[in-house]
Structure 1
Amino acid sequence: MTPPNPEPKPDAPRPTGLRERKKRRTRDALVRAALELFTSQGYEQTTVDEIVDAVDVSQRTFFRYFAGKEEAVFAVQEMVERQFAERVRARPAHEPPLQALRAAVLDAWNAVGESIEEIVPVELHMRTYQLIESTPALLAVEMRRSVEMEEEVARIIAEREGLDVDADPRPRVAVAAFGGVMRMTGRRWGAGQDLTVESMRVVTAAHLDELAPALAGDWRTT
């Protein structure tokens, strides 16, 4: 569906003025309504009309904030990823790359619950993750986004280490290994019963602790 005369999206930072706070409340309400509908009746089965009806706004308002349903699905995840990238940049310079990545993601999970709750209930965000994993069209988008995120983080790591990311493969190799663990962790967590931030953090830490030994050790047993 082509949006009617789409307008520029509001900037990502949390608003401070009254008008900007109103815009943010409208955007957050649209995200909540969209995710509730997507997770209860299916992504493909949900229309933009149903989303805007739930918030009592027009289609024009929806397309002021989102190019389409896909952007609404990933709105919260985009915020979480942005926080992770910021935390990688902020890690102490002396930390080795994998240690910095591990610390950044666990630190992000420590604070992410509060950030998510500003937009949607954490439980709804967790159900959305399961929706993405079980919807082929969304899973394809998720894989593309993962590749883009890994490239961004690899460049952050290369900058931290004083390397040329296009000449030295190590930043991309390290981030690819880290990203693979994160995807596998997410799938295992999503298949479980405890859909909480703390559960996700525990599963993430346990699997990241196995990364270096798995790459360096001898898997054969005598």
Structure 2
Amino acid sequence: MTTAPGLRERKKQRTRDALIRAALELFTTQGYERTTVDEIAEAVEVSQRTFFRYFATKEDAALAVQQMVEERYVRALGERPPEEGPFDAMRNAVLGAWDAIGEAIEEVVPVELYIRAYHLIESTPALFAAHLRRSAEIEERIARLIAEREGLDVDEDPRPRIATAAFGGVMRVTGRLWGRGEEETLESIRALTERYLDQLGAALAPRWRA
């Protein structure tokens, strides 16, 4: 009997999600470096070979949910109305994505586990370096998307990359401050992000003093 493609895909997604949950639980309780792929696979009762069907490395499993969050933002940016300027489009995309991201995260892992994993990424040098590398790749995609929206050549006009770098800098600052704070909720990081993004224009003004 042949299994319907939809059912097969759902089963694969469940296995992938289970591997992510097991990996993040193990990483956040016993440490990233001390956790092996065998332990992750054993927790889900699959083989090491099955793990590597879904993830090339432990790093990929550790960053999977964060990557999903970033991809959701890029998708939201691509759907912003064309009449919005670059900063408005990026701001509205990220805030809109945060409004709905909790439900998307919960489909994979509990939000509490996602928050613990976020702290793990920030405090683990290997993961933090990988996260920064991926962030740079995302920023390049966003710069090209902004250039396309504005009808510009990203390699001739520096503004898309400059605007994206400024915006990405704000996002990194708010993420770091949120990680140090006491209120660890998605609502609090959204509020902090909105507050700092609202100051972006003022921070880029030629003069700050009255």
TM-score (norm 2): 0.96
After TM superposition, the structure 1 = structure 2 runs for residues 29-108 of structure 1, keeping only pairs within 5 Å, are 29-108=18-97
1:13 equivalent in structure 2 = none
Q: 1:7-49: CA deviations, max 9, x gaps?
A: xxxxxxxxx7111111110110000000011011110011111
Aligned partners of 2:179 and 2:16: how far apart in 1?
Answer: 27
Give the secondary structure class of the aligned counterpart of 1:142.
helix
Is the counterpart of residue 165 in structure 1 residue 154 in structure 2?
Answer: yes
Query: AA paired with 1:131?
Result: L
Aligned to 1:6: none
Correspondence for 2:137 = 148
Percent of pairs identical after alignment? 67
Q: Does 1:174 align with 2:174?
A: no
Residue by residue, what CA displacement relative to the aligned partner does 1:125-149 show, whole Å, maximum 9, x if unpaired? 1111110110111111111111101
Aligned residues: 206
Letter matched to residue 146 of structure 1? S
| Counterpart amino acid of residue 164 in structure 1 | D
Q: Does 1:109 align with 2:98?
A: yes
Letter in 1 for 2:12: K
Deviation at 1:53, TM superposition (A): 1.1
Deviations 1:43-87 (A, max 9, x none): 001111111111111101101100010000111111111111111
Aligned to 1:4: none
Counterpart in the other structure of 1:12 = none
1:27 matched residue in structure 2:
16
1:217: Cα distance to partner? 5.0
Equivalents in 2 of 1:62, 1:169: separation in Å?
A: 42
Runs of 4+ in 1 over 4 A off after TM superposition: none
**Matches of 2:80 and 2:14 in 1, distance apart?**
32
Structure 1: stretches of 5+ with no match in the other structure: 1-15
